[in-house]
Chain A
Amino acid sequence: MSKAKAEAKAQDARLASAADLEALRQRLIQDQDPDRPEIIVCHGTGCLANGSPEVAEALKKAIKASGLDAKVVPGIKATGCHGFCSRGPLVVVRPQGLFYQRVQASDVDEIVQTTLVEGQAVERLLYKDPVSKEAITLEQDIPFYKHQKRVVLRNIGKVDPTDINDTIARGGYLALAKALFAMTPEQVVAEVEKSGLRGRGGAGFPTGRKWKSALAAIKKKGRPVYVVVNGDEGDPGAFMDRTIMEGDPHAVLEGLILGAYALGAHQGFLYVRAEYPVAIKHLTIAMEQARALGLLGENILGSGFSFDVQVNRGAGAFVCGESTALFTSIEGRAGEPKPKYVRSVEEGLWGRPTVLNNVETWANVPQIIENGSEWFAGLGAPNSTGTKVFSLVGKVNNVGLVEVPMGIPLKEIVETLGGGVPGGEPFKAVQTGGPSGGCLPYSLKDTPVDFDSLTKAGSMMGSGGMIVMDRRDCVVDIARYFLRFLEEESCGKCIPCRLGIQRMREMCDGFSRGEGSEADIAELKSLARAIQDGSLCALGGSSPNPVLTTLQYFEDEYLAHIRDHKCPAGVCKALITYSIDRDKCTGCMACARACPQKCISGQKKKPHAIDAARCIRCGICMESCKFQAVQVQ
């Protein structure tokens, strides 16, 4: 090689072949010292909010001050979300995998001294099993992690999402190299189809079949064809896609490039809601680093295939998660859906064939290509292959993000991984599938969590939000909450959705005040069916689901509101009264001090009383009472 050529090559860091990628990977692996400790500080949203950057900063200082031998000075790595959000900020010490929870900056001196210098675990920072009360030292032994199957999340919490080398060392872009040099585009489509992968965004449409029909449309209409990532996650309480984009942006990118290769697309779009600034930042960094290495852009890995991608920020409309509305938004118009009598694989962005998949769907693709469709089809349930990421929120001990094989029973997610409801009683219901999903009662706790079983039960998989409710949650109130959300988020184009959701909400508002009759419940069901049938898009069409499923499984609770003017859960303000149990009250004054209305009277060490006429039923007294003396009826 001439000198000039060598210089040009040194300037150009682009990998020119699959062998180059493999060589880089080997070099990166060799550079790693497996015995060198590494401290991982979770920088997921929950941990960030709880002060993980301060913990990381304090760790750096403390390590410097400790005078540790340079050979054992640990690297400190900020990673994406580990999932166990209720225990954050989380710190993991490798290679052992010591798991420290709720770590504050003030704890780091002890971590450095005890763990790094003396090689012992800091007992008081370990996770304690709520049942056995025993401390668990290692991350992989904690029930929350032990029962997970991390496929999509395999890199999250392990790699630094802002450093492509970290991902490459763990096998990133190997699937791309395999597809580009050892597979035809048709083989990639066939592999995805054989894997049985179904869309993770909600409807569960088979991904391979979608890609195949796009190929048929391309045959008819020619190219260009576009590939799009739907990162407009908007369900209340859902943060699966956010975590993937923030914690492992290269998995999404690699999946998208694979899809582009399979379909012959040269331009892709990442549609991410603007409320996810970290996701946008990490994706943008990932794109720049991938371009610099020749993994994105012109002539990828020297294969002759070119593809590039851009980020489009959504301005925060829930409806833009709907495919046709998402397209109009990317095209620069108001995000309103269009009737889908011609599918978007034929007429999508700018009227061209377009394949739109959800973030988690795309992130599954590299592993299907790398490990083969049979491996993937062996995970999960027969008609719902693979794993699914769920965000577990509400009345559950272990709030966070879990990934499990499809088809596991609902109660295993809520009780084994989620640690059950605080207080130990069984859950009352679980809302799956976000506002468009449904409310499953405890009696359906054995329902396998897969696409078909959830749909059969009247709910849906949705994108994977799971909201756990206990006996203090009122189903009428839940229905009102979701209806209010959808009423605000309806684009207003079609009448059944714009007016229907509002009117359903008004009817439920009436129930929550004890108004209405059994005939009104029947009429509400009729209106719900009209909205399901008549709405333009899935937002409106699925909007009655929370109402219909709560009516299906908890009609008695609705009737209690209407007939007996009672809210059994003690939530609907017009129907409840707070009182103090004179036998339990110790006269500690805690409730009287907390009451914003100052309507609790009584002397110290003597039972208190609530003036019902002035009470605004905020429930603060109940929360402040340590003796369960405040009752609600």
Chain B
Amino acid sequence: MVSFKINGQAVQAEPGWTVLETARHHGIHIPTLCYHEAVEASGACRLCVVEVKQGDWSKIVISCMYPVAEGIEILTESERVKNVRRWILEMLLAECPGSKDIRELAAQYGVNSTRFTPHHPDEQCILCGLCVRVCKEVVGVNAISTVGRGVHKKIGSPYMEPSEACVACGSCVTVCPTGAMRARIDAVRGEPKVQLAPQAK
């Protein structure tokens, strides 16, 4: 077992666990968006940042991928951590104003408004890539991927046309943390053969 501290609390982890796994195991909450147990972590949303201290040095890492080590000290609510989190949430409020889930999550951390002008008022997608990973790793069909680069990046099927590869399983909709995929799946699978259950408001 590996012993270390989270927010001063002594915790133990199996070798090979990440900080996030350990925290969840011990009931310590760390917010996440792009993390899901079913797929490999990718480190895209950066919401799960924590500060790791070892001796007199410290750095910010993502808990979903940072491997546990003997004697480290993890802070989940330090000033540096809170600063990263508040800016991510404030930027997401402007990036996907259409997502109720993001608004609720931001409010939980005291971010209720954004100074930034939204570029797309209905956007819900935060480009966390969970849909792409589940389609690849769990379903195994690779019907969707990220397209383009940087601020032009999007999620979609090849050439943004309905994909023959899509089996309309809905896994992408299930893992999507913001509800964006629900609006997008018909563009990927083509003519809907099955209607999705109405979304809870």
Contact status of A492 and B127, CB under 8 A, knowing A334-B146, A499-B95:
yes
Whole-angstrom CA separation of A523 from B45 in the bound complex:
21
Query: Are B83 and A496 interface neighbours, CB within 8 A?
Result: no
Is A141 in contact with chain B by the CB < 8 A criterion? no
The reply on B149 being an interface residue by CB < 8 A is yes
Interface 1/0 per residue, A333-375 and B, CB below 8 Å: 0100011011000000000000000000000000000000000
Instruction: Kindly state the separation between the CA atoms of A30 and B159 in the bound complex, as whole angstroms.
Output: 63
Given contacts A489-B150, A490-B149, A495 and B83 within 8 Å (CB-CB)? no
* Bound-complex Cα distance A599 to B80 (A): 53
Which residues of B, 123-171, contact A by the 8 Å Cβ criterion? 126-127, 129, 145-146, 148-153
Q: Tell me, in angstroms, the Cα distance from A338 to B43 when the chains sit together.
A: 8
Contact B146 A492, beta carbon cutoff 8 Å: yes
Given contacts A341-B67, A493-B44, contact A500 B150 (CB under 8 A): no
Asked if B39 CB lies within 8 Å of chain A CBs, one says: no
The reply on A518 being an interface residue by CB < 8 A is no
Q: How far is the CA of A500 from the CA of B46 in the complex (A)?
A: 12
B15 to chain A, nearest CB (A): 14
In the complex, chain A residues 489-515 whose Cβ is within 8 Å of any chain B Cβ:
489-496, 498-500, 502-503, 506
A381 within 8 A of B: no
Closest Cβ of chain B to A207, distance in Å, is 23
CB–CB A530/B43 < 8 A? no
Beta-carbon contact of B84 and A496 below 8 Å: yes
Instruction: Report how far A401 CA is from B2 CA in the complex, Å.
Output: 52
CA distance A488 to B149 in the complex (A): 8
> Looking at the complex, which one of B88, B95, B151 makes contact with A530 (CB distance below 8 Å)?
B88
Interface size on A, residues (CB 8 A): 32
A487 to B151, CA, bound (A): 7
Contact of A502 among B86, B92, B151 (CB under 8 A): B151
How many Å from the CB of B86 to the closest CB on chain A?
A: 8
User: Is B87 located at the chain interface by the 8 A CB criterion?
Assistant: yes
Partner among A338, A339, A503, A530 whose Cβ is within 8 Å of the Cβ of B83: A530
Supposing A526-B87, A534-B88 touch, asked if A496 and B46 sit within 8 A by C-beta, the answer is yes
Measured between beta carbons, the chain B residues less than 8 angstroms from A147 are: none
* Contact status A495-B44, CB under 8 Å: yes
Within the complex, which residue of B42, B67, B84 is in contact with A534, where a contact is CB–CB below 8 Å? B84
Complex CA–CA separation, A534 to B85 (angstroms): 9
Closest chain A residue to B60 by CB distance?
A533
A341-B67, A492-B127, A534-B49 given; A498·B153 CB < 8 A: yes
Is A535 in the interface zone, CB < 8 Å from B? yes
Q: Across the interface, which residues of A come within 8 angstroms of B146, CB to CB?
A: 334, 492
Residue of B at shortest CB range from A497?
Answer: B150
List the A side residues contacting B150 at CB < 8 Å. Answer: 487-492, 498
Instruction: Give Cα distance in the complex from A14 to B116, angstroms.
Output: 65
Whether B44 lies near A494 (C-beta < 8 A) is yes
Does chain A have a CB within 8 A of B11? no
The answer for the CA separation of A503 and B115 in the assembled complex, in Å, is: 10
Q: Verify if A625 is at the interface (C-beta below 8 Å from B).
A: no
Q: How far is the CB of A323 from chain B (nearest CB, A)?
A: 15
Provide the residues of chain B in CB contact with A530, threshold 8 Å.
83-84, 86-88
Task: Answer yes or no: A575 CB below 8 A from chain B CBs.
Answer: no
Find out whether the CB atom of A494 lies under 8 angstroms from the CB atom of B149: no
Point out the residues of chain B lying under 8 angstroms from A499, CB to CB.
91-92, 95, 151
Q: Is A527 an interface residue (CB 8 A)?
A: yes
Question: B149 and A500: CB pair below 8 A?
Answer: no
* Residues on the A chain within 8 Å of B62, using CB: 339
Q: CB-nearest residue of chain B relative to A335? A: B149
CA distance A622 to B8 in the complex (A): 64
Q: How far is the CB of B124 from chain A (nearest CB, A)?
A: 15
A529 near B: Cβ within 8 Å? yes
Is there contact, CB below 8 Å, between A494 and B153? Answer: no
Chain B 41-70, CB within 8 Å of chain A: the 1/0 string? Answer: 011111101000000000011100111000
Q: How far is the CB of A537 from chain B (nearest CB, A)?
A: 10
Closest A residue to B45 using CB positions: A495
Q: Kindly state whether residue A580 has any CB partner on chain B within 8 Å.
A: no
Q: Judging by beta carbons under 8 Å apart, are B66 and A341 in contact?
A: yes
Cross-chain contact A495 with B88 (CB below 8 angstroms): yes
Q: Report yes or no: A492 in contact with B148, Cβ–Cβ below 8 A.
A: yes
* A529: B residues at CB distance < 8 A: 80, 83
Instruction: Give the contacts of B155-194 with A (CB-CB under 8 A).
Output: none
Are B60's CB and A536's CB within 8 A? no
Given contacts A493-B129, A496-B87, A503-B116, contact A536 B46 (CB under 8 A): yes
Closest to B18 in A: A341
Tell me, rounded to whole Å, the shortest Cβ–Cβ distance linking A504 to chain B. Answer: 10
Q: How far is the CA of A334 from the CA of B145 in the complex (A)?
A: 10
Q: Which positions in B face A, CB cutoff 8 Å?
A: 42-47, 49, 60-62, 65-67, 80, 83-84, 86-88, 91-92, 95, 115-117, 126-127, 129, 145-146, 148-153
**Known contacts A341-B66, A489-B150, then 11 further A-B pairs from the complex at CB < 8 Å, ordered by chain A residue:** A487-B150, A492-B127, A492-B148, A494-B45, A495-B46, A495-B47, A495-B126, A496-B87, A502-B151, A526-B83, A530-B83
Pairs of residues from A and B, 3 with the lowest C-beta to C-beta distance, nearest first: A492-B153, A530-B87, A534-B84
Residues on A lying within 8 angstroms of B by beta carbon are 317, 334, 338-339, 341-342, 487-496, 498-500, 502-503, 506, 523, 526-527, 529-531, 533-536
8 contacts between A and B (CB under 8 A): A342-B67, A489-B150, A495-B45, A495-B126, A499-B151, A500-B91, A506-B116, A506-B117
